[in-house]
Structure 1
């Protein structure tokens, strides 16, 4: 693997495994990683499968690359460089699971927030220290974190400089479970996901991500699913098992 490759993409029959690959820099998110993650998203969008996202080494992602971030100016902020990527990750068609160990800070935390489910090791630490660097967490934390942990805890993190260790993150609902082997646990979650209807999952995720009340959209999505052969086969198999 070349030093320039900051993201490893492994495609399996039923899932993608995306590995952030800058372990010597705690997988800090730089421009090359942003570009490679966009390429990974394009690949996943062409052939949708669930995703396991993990950092190589001890950390998930220790934040944005500060050396690059220091040189960014107004035009870079208005371009939403990190935000547009993380929004794309959040919009991937099928569920995404972040397997988090060590630091998930700044942009690394925001990347984990963009995933649908988070698994953590006891070493995991989530935080957004951006105001200490004279900036704000502008890549999704302001609108994702409150929905994940509630406004009060989000303000403690984004305004009060609080970091959430693994236990606090689980208590706040940010992570599903805290385990020593986070990658295996993430794959077990995906094992459950892939046994479900891909179209039902895709429509459910779309509905969940849509803002506001949308009962009419639920009805339309359900109408589509009611007409599928997959629904008929799954329900028939369920009824036959009950007999």
Structure 2
């Protein structure tokens, strides 16, 4: 399993909510508020639930140890939360839930984080990778064809294919690795899509496209082979031959 990250998103009016105002007005209320926040953080990886593997009578004691707070203060906080329905008994034994925490929890995998950051970076740069690569080719003949589904006139179903001609070598490059895979490598599944996103985040679209092209030329239509090519190209260990076109 890959790494997963969790976070707690407090609403802007958290400290203006009636329950929190009442909690803070109690003597020692700021301490109780901190305890409540610690409990919310403790419930992050369990979708707003706090499980305790002990008798109910020892719940407060164990909770105080978990969040490193005074047992009496934890007891006062839990009583207040129960009274205001901020802590409720779960239908499962040895489990309580924090409804407000469940609403504020977010998470994503490390792979999703890398893909999201990559997309944000590409959007910020407003960079069209295919156009940039074409500009860098120099004296190369370029043909651009628009392939349309004959059964559908919707422009959204068209695919741009760029033919690069150099020393008798013709390379067809579709605008995205996903389209290239569908066109040349095989059936796109959810697993394959996630792996391609992961490779794009690590190496960039240009390297992934070239890796797929090399894999296709070698008759190796597998993710493992494509990823191996990505690593070699990225590290510089697998440089293109003079007659090959780097795109």
TM range (shorter): under 0.3
Tell me the TM-score normalized by structure 1.
0.21
TM-score normalised by length of structure 2: 0.21
Please tell me whether Structure 1 or Structure 2 has the larger radius of gyration of its CA atoms. Answer: 2
